[in-house]
Amino acid sequence: MKARMLAAALALLCQGALAQSVITLQDADEDGRQMIEASVNGVGVRTYYTDENWFVSMSTTTYLFLYENGYIHDNDVKGLTTLKLPDGSSSKCASFVIRKLKVGDHVLVTDIPAFVVKKQTVPLLIGSTAFSSLGDVTREGNKIVIGDLEPDVAVSDVVDPVDSLRLAAQAHIDAEEYDLAADCLASLLGKGALNMLSQYQYSVILNLLGRDEENIAVSLDWLAANEGKSLTMDYWIFNGLGASYARMKENAKAIDFYEKAASAYYALYNTSEKSVKAGDFRDDNLGATLYRLGRLYAAEGKVQKTESRCSLAAKCGYQPAIDFCRQYKIKY
């Protein structure tokens, strides 16, 4: 089911008569487009108006600028929707809420839905639809007149809650807010909506946060459904399981999964222990896995395997393994 989202809980600050608001359009540019003065969440944005049946849309460049500079927050992001563009084509667009859209000196709109359109070349585009829930919108020369103001709240069916959670999770991951990302992914799990990628992300984050029992449950479920489909994901899932079991002092299981992780990495890069020993393949990720294996074998008293894995890790160029081998006189 499509979730319902508040499209516009609209507040109006007017100068003059309470029955209408007037927005003045600037002279058209060389392309025939008319600008209006507008600000998004308190920052001025170069804005154009269209009489077409359109909402509020933003270019990708403008959106990223506002997001990266804190004018758009993670909780403003609402999800994904398929939007029909003015040229008749359709595009998958991110949707978000503009907390405060001020147009000219008269109109202050709050919590209005907006869309990020990749094809859009103008920073911000506002159509007549954006104002229609305020009241009747008419065009009088270079002025837009909004009359018969109505306080009613409009609703829209464009946001899928699953897409919204996935988009929010990715935004938190990009911002390294892993606790918040985990909350979003846990909500997806509760809805039975973790796909291959989001379940993989959840596992990696749970390992990063040290939430071992949760990580083991999610990772084993992922392997049951997806093992062998992606060697890269296989490696990180195996590696995370090794880390979780090691922290839980279940060394035998940790060793088993670290060995599987090393095998997946060899397959991923079409290499082998022989190539590592020959110095033909150096990689810190593989080195870290092999070193952890060596330390686990050491804890189990298996000297030969300790030396074998630690020397391979050192051959990979992994500095902790090099230091360990030097300390204990292990050849590499």
Domain that holds residue 184: 161-327
Residue 7's pLDDT is what?
Answer: 19
pLDDT of residue 150: 43
Inside any domain, residue 128:
yes
**Residues 172 and 142 placed together within one structural domain of the fold:** no
Q: Are 112 and 56 in contact (CB under 8 A)?
A: yes
Supply the pLDDT for residue 161. 61
Same-domain pairing of 171 and 81 = no
- The pLDDT score that the predictor gives to residue 236 is 93
Give the model's pLDDT for residue 230: 85
Q: Answer for the pair 226, 233: CB distance below 8 angstroms, yes or no.
A: yes
In this prediction, residue 155 carries a pLDDT of: 29
Are 244 and 206 found together in one domain? Answer: yes
Q: What pLDDT score was predicted for residue 154? A: 32
Considering the domain architecture, whether residues 167 and 272 belong to the same structural domain is answered as: yes
Do 170 and 148 sit in the same domain of this protein? no
pLDDT tens track, the chain, 332 positions? 222 211 111 122 223 333 467 778 887 766 667 888 888 888 888 888 887 778 889 988 889 888 888 889 888 888 777 777 767 777 778 889 898 888 876 666 778 888 898 888 888 998 877 776 566 777 888 887 776 544 433 323 333 566 667 767 766 776 778 898 899 899 889 888 888 878 988 999 999 999 999 999 999 999 999 999 888 889 999 999 999 999 999 999 999 999 999 999 999 889 999 999 999 999 999 999 999 999 999 999 999 999 999 999 999 999 999 999 999 999 98
**Claim to verify: residue 55 and residue 141 sit in the same structural domain:** yes
Q: Which of 159, 175, 190 is the last residue of a domain?
A: 159
Tell me whether residue 332 is in a domain. Answer: no
- Structure confidence at residue 156 (pLDDT): 34
Q: Is residue 196 part of a domain?
A: yes
Domain assignment present for residue 155? The answer is yes
Looking at the structure, do residues 74 and 85 belong to the same domain, yes or no? yes
Calpha distance 95→97 (Å, rounded): 7
Neighbouring residues of 331: CB distance < 8 A, sequence distance ≥ 6 = 311, 325
Domain with 74 in it: what CATH number? Answer: 2.40.70.10
Total count of domains within the chain: 2
One domain, residues 272 and 298: yes
Work out the angle at residue 100's Cα, subtended by the Cα atoms of residues 54 and 138, and round it to the nearest 5 degrees.
40
Within-domain flag for 189? yes
Describe the crossing of helices 231-247 and 251-268 by its angle, rounded to 10 degrees.
160
**Under DSSP, is residue 7 helix (H, G, I), strand (E, B) or coil?**
strand
Last residue of one domain, picked from the residues 127, 159, 191: 159
The answer to whether residue 275 is domain-embedded is: yes
**150 shares its domain with 169:** no
Query: Does any domain span residue 170?
Result: yes
Decide which of 100, 125, 159 is a domain's last residue. 159
CATH code at 188?
1.25.40.10
Same domain, yes or no: 132 and 277: no
Looking at the fold, whether 104 and 167 belong to one and the same domain comes out as: no
Query: 130 and 187 in one domain?
Result: no
At 22, is the secondary structure helix, strand, or coil? Answer: strand
Is there a domain that residue 299 lies in?
yes
